[in-house]
Amino acid sequence: MKRFEYADEGITGREIMILMPSVVIGVGVLTFPKGLAAVTVGADGWISILVGGMIAIFLTWAIAKMAASFPGQSFINYASLIASKPVAIILTFLFAMIALQMVVFQVRQIGEMSKQYIFDRTPLEVVSLIFLLVVIYGISGSRVALFRLNMLFFPIILLVSFVLLLFNLIRIDVGNLLPIFKTGFQGHIKGISDVSTSYIGMGVLWLYIALVKQPKKAPKQAVIGMSIPVGIYLFIYVMCIGVFGNHVTMNLIYPTIELAKAVEIPGEFFERFESIFFVVWIMAIFNTAVLTFDVAVFAITSIFKKAPKVKVIFILSPLVYFAAMLPHDIVEVAALGSFVGFTAIIYTTFVVIFLFVIAKIRGVKHVG
Amino acid sequence: MLAKRMAIIMFLCSLLSVLLAGCWDEKNIEEHGFVVGTAIDQVDGQTKENLMIALTNQFVIPAGIGTPAEGGGEQKAFLNLTVHGESMFNIGRNMASQTSRVPFYEHLKVLIVSEELADTPELLATLVDFFIRDHEMRRGVNIYISEGKAKEILEIEPKPERIPAMFLNTVTDNEQEALEMISSVQIGDLHGFLLQPFSYVLPKIAAEEDKSKVHDDKTAVFRGYNNQMVGTLTGEETKGLNLLTEKNKSGSIVFEIDNKPMAYEVTGTNLKMDIDTTDPGNLEVSINIKANGGIAEMFGDRSLLDEAYIAKIEDKVAEEIEQLANQTIKKVQHELNTDVLEIGKTLKQKHYALWEKIKDNWENGENYFSKANIHVSAEVNVRQTGVTDRAKNREHRK
């Protein structure tokens, strides 16, 4: 196969900034208001989103800072410098597994969602397979091309989110947002742990920072990028509660899609906004899936240096597909979702602390 | 080598075209039976224990609608199909065997449930479950309770609209400016009502004897904790409810001044509810209604450009509003014991701790709601008097 070759295979800080929302915004946005509304009173969930977001932003900064202090080096390289080669291999392998899990979840969830709303009779297996095939096509080519694709898709995703929020403004019932500050401490903790599973994805920075041409600026750009999903989540949540109220939100499977269905553009010259919303959101989910799959392949090829990338993809893809088809029903899919979320968070937090502590003890810094 | 490669590519392409072109969900537009209205009734002669439901779907016949210029000819523009069954799912299956077109609900506009079904506790929730759950339905479907058979409403012969369901939809939208009726309720709103413990109201409609139109100036009152219809508010009582809860903010109030009727048109209201919670067993609720509007029509001939006279009008309107409100309060508080005044909701929003304590004894048990003292005060502003001062002049007749 002949591929288009980019003149430069590096990425800029701006692409890192766009990378963050592209990875984070995926299927989580469609469902998170449900879980959050169930454990909080009124619109109090915004506190959980904000606090969870702060934690996510901090983790992003920590990862970017650490990765950027080893410019041009891959994760496995600087991890071996800090904590010996075998440990680095184990960490990289675990990283690949967690990224693959995320792909599994995205592939399954997109099938689940499409079947519910768009294709009533098309088997879920087929929808997921076709999605996965496109993802495979995406990652088989140039890595930098994926970042360029993000830059192309992201403004469209932002625009659609904006339309979604703007045209629901008139439907907000302020009474739904009350009472405020009535959620107990327990509720907030549950809310934060619930919403933080929708913030996963910052781990891709462990590997991608190595591609950045001027890594010095990367941490700041990554933080700016990470605050975009926090803002979007806040608006979508408040909108869901304002339009549907707490009780309805916690009973809707996909509150954000219902929000899209509720959009009525005045004058009735445009109805069925959700058809556009679906197209664009599948683009967003595609971005997430393609980047997480790519980062998993990246991690594995950094362990097995001689294995060709395409071969690795062809070995992993069937595994991903079969794993995605394992859950029996939507309850198991949701359970898979929270499992994926929690393992990713625990892994990220653990590795940040672990590498930081070891580096401090052994005095490794700024190599290269 | 090249030939072999080409062969593989050709094979893959043809495989893909087989796999990808076969769209499982392909359905041509002619095969859809567009349902615009649905009515749910109880089958006559059936007991509540052994409930049989009659579901009537109103299908559009596109040929009957025609173009505005040529009209639709003699053909009817709609087809009503009634199917009996124990559950919506059952009915759906039976419906499929009776029509060549599969019911397609994406354009459903109205759902009508008959009164006799609505006054069984929890039944309404069961009946509308299918309409909330199915992904084809939109949350914007208007819902009504019918006096008598729901099916009869889909059988009216309106003019100039040709499809009863569409007629109903337009008429109720137009009448947003009448205080006698509450603004239309959508199935998405109803979902919220069903999930929450608060009582609520739905518009109630009835078909006129000669089938030419529907009456829509009544309101069905539902008790929140068991979703049972407990009573009906008349048009006058609905006026009071609208003023008290801002369900519909505009409309006209007719009152008498100097023994001549005058119409005051409300263009907006501003509501303030204060609850004194010192004694939960005896809540003091004060509701202040500020109405803005103008004079729409007068029978008298005094000049309206007179401060004192305007003040007098304002007092009269305020008196009328208070009287309308008190009449409604009396009915819902003492006769129906159902809090459709949203006092419970306000308590939850502003006095959350107290609400958590008394919510199970609000409309039953201790009956805190019926023990509350509700005071209404009204302030009225006359902002416009129309484009003319007087339309008649007494001096000429002298």
Q: The complex's ipTM?
A: 0.73
Specify the residue for token string 């609905």. B238
**pLDDT at residue A260, as a whole number:** 86
Q: SS3 of B254, please?
A: strand
**pLDDT at residue B398, as a whole number:** 47
Contact A247 B135 (CB under 8 A): no
Residue A117 has pLDDT above 60, yes or no: yes
**pLDDT at residue B36, as a whole number:** 87
Specify the residue for token string 């625990």. A346
**pLDDT at residue A292, as a whole number:** 92
**pLDDT at residue B136, as a whole number:** 75
Tens digit of pLDDT for each residue in A154-174?
999 999 888 888 888 888 888
**pLDDT at residue B59, as a whole number:** 86
What is the pLDDT averaged over residues A218-238?
90
Contact A126 B135 (CB under 8 A): no
Residue B190: closest C-alpha in chain A: A248
Report which secondary-structure segment, H or E, holds B79: strand B78-85
Q: Show which of residues 130-149 on chain A sit within 8 Å of chain B, judged by CB atoms.
A: 130
Query: What is each CA distance from B324 to B234, B277, B291, B318, B377, in whole angstroms?
Result: 12, 26, 14, 10, 11
**pLDDT at residue A6, as a whole number:** 60
Q: Which of A178, A180, A259, A277 to mutate to test the interface with B (most CBs of B within 10 A)?
A: A178
**pLDDT at residue A1, as a whole number:** 47
Residue B191: closest C-alpha in chain A: A248
Q: Both tokens of residue A285?
A: 């989910």
Mean pLDDT, chain B cut into blocks of 10 residues (398 residues total): 85 77 69 84 73 84 63 70 80 75 82 85 83 79 86 80 80 71 83 85 83 78 84 84 79 80 82 81 84 78 76 85 86 84 83 82 79 84 71 59
Residue A26 has pLDDT above 60, yes or no: yes
Nearest to B139 among A116, A119, A261 (CB): A261
Number of CB atoms found within 10 A of residue B273's CB = 19
- HEC sequence for B163-214: CHHHHHHHHHHHHHHCCCCCCCEEHHHHHHHHHCCCCEEEEEEEECCCCCCE
**pLDDT at residue B179, as a whole number:** 78
Nearest to B25 among A122, A178, A182 (CB): A122
Tens digit of pLDDT for each residue in A77-88?
888 888 888 888
Residue A321 has pLDDT above 90, yes or no: yes
Within chain B, where are the H helices?
2-21, 62-65, 88-98, 115-118, 123-133, 150-153, 164-174, 187-195, 235-245, 307-330, 343-350, 352-358, 368-371
Tens digit of pLDDT for each residue in A52-64?
999 999 999 988 8
Quote the pTM value: 0.82
Amino acid at B84: H
Tens digit of pLDDT for each residue in B213-239?
777 778 888 888 888 888 888 888 888
Query: Nearest-CA distance from A174 to chain B in Å?
Result: 10
Q: Taking all residues of chain A, what is their mean pLDDT, rounded to a whole number? A: 86
**Contacts with B216 (C-beta within 8 Å, 6 or more apart), sequence order:** B144, B171, B172, B175, B181, B203, B204, B205
Q: Return d(Cα A174, Cα A180) in angstroms, integer.
A: 11
Is residue A120 less than 8 Å (CB to CB) from chain B? Answer: yes
**pLDDT at residue B364, as a whole number:** 77
In B, what residues contact A, Cβ < 8 A?
19-20, 23-25, 135, 138-140, 188, 191-192, 195-196, 345, 348-350, 352
- Name the residue among B247, B201, B205, B248 with its Cα closest to residue B224: B201
Instruction: Residue B352: list chain A partners with CB under 8 A.
Output: 41, 179, 182
Contact criterion met (CB below 8 Å) for B285 and B372: yes
Report which secondary-structure segment, H or E, holds B272: strand B260-276
What is the pLDDT averaged over residues A310-324?
91
Contact B192 A248 (CB under 8 A): yes
Residue A368 confidence class, pLDDT cut points 50, 70, 90: very low
